[in-house]
């Protein structure tokens, strides 16, 4: 038996309308489910809320519950929306969830039917979505650059040898003493053996692993040896500043490793 949800709504205006009270809607949905052999799991409701409003507690709970169950029964689609703007926004969420709406009073209705009246509003909503994404990305980019300029790592995964901690509810990057030993060992060993391949073999013998528990590849070791974060720098796009974090490798050793990497690359 197919499982479905029900949705009922009545606003202050429609409470007085004949045939659209909450009890009437719920009974109609139950009868519809009985006739069509559907299993009604839950009825979500909004009382005293206009259909022009998108922010409704019952509707929000319904949309959040569209996981295994994706069929919604309503007495009439006017219970879901009462304006073109609300209809387009709610339909977009339902279609994204791959849901379907069955209406007791509109047996042929489908949210997937093309409605020319939706075209303009839908286009506007897509433009607004794009604007919101661009605006959010711009804010994030500004925030990251601002952090970098102040000497803080902007975001993302901490390089091996470091970890994120919260200090007064603010994320800060600190040395991970266990993995910092691996990083120091790599720099020291490279200056000694002058070969990334030999450093890789050395790491394998000592059973050093990445943050994901895998053996270090030659490329991963190369990236670590070139990462100026370990000597206390923060690099982001065109910015390169002295970081607030504690360095793992001193600048002299880091410089020697870069010179050796350069010479080996030219060979």
Catalytic residues: 11
Strands of 77-230 (E only): list them: 100-103, 162-167, 170-175
The answer to whether 22 and 45 have CB atoms below 8 angstroms apart is yes
Strand partners, 44: 7
**Spatial distance between the Cα atoms of 230 and 249, rounded to a whole number of angstroms:** 5
Strand partners, 236: 239
> 151: exposed, middle or buried (C-beta count within 10 Å: 0-12, 13-18, 19+)?
middle
Strand partners, 234: 241
Q: Enumerate the H helices of 150-228 as residue ranges.
A: 177-193, 196-205, 218-226
At 93 the three-state DSSP class reads helix
């Amino acid at each position: 038996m197919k499982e479905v949800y029900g949705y009922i709504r009545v606003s202050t205006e429609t409470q007085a309308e004949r045939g659209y009270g909450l009890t009437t809607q719920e009974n109609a949905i139950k009868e519809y489910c009985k006739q069509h052999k559907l299993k009604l799991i839950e009825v979500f409701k909004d009382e005293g809320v206009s259909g022009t409003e998108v922010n409704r507690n019952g509707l929000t709970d319904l949309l959040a519950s569209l996981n295994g169950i994706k069929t919604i029964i309503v007495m009439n689609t006017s219970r879901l929306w009462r304006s073109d703007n609300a209809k387009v926004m709610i339909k977009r969420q339902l279609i994204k969830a791959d849901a379907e709406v069955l209406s007791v009073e509109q047996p042929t209705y489908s949210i997937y039917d093309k409605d020319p009246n939706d075209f303009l509003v839908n286009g506007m909503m897509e433009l607004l979505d794009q604007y919101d994404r661009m605006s959010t990305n711009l804010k994030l980019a500004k925030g990251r650059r601002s952090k970098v300029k102040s000497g803080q790592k902007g975001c993302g995964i901490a390089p091996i040898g470091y970890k994120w901690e919260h200090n007064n509810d603010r994320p800060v990057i600190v040395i991970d003493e266990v993995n910092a030993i691996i990083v120091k060992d790599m720099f020291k060993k490279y200056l000694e053996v002058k070969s990334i391949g030999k450093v890789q073999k050395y790491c394998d013998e000592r059973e050093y692993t990445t943050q994901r528990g895998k053996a270090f590849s030659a490329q991963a070791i190369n990236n670590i040896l070139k990462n100026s974060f370990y000597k206390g720098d923060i690099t982001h796009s065109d910015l390169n500043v002295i970081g607030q974090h504690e360095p793992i490798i001193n600048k002299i050793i880091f410089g020697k490793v870069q010179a050796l990497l350069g010479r080996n690359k030219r060979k």
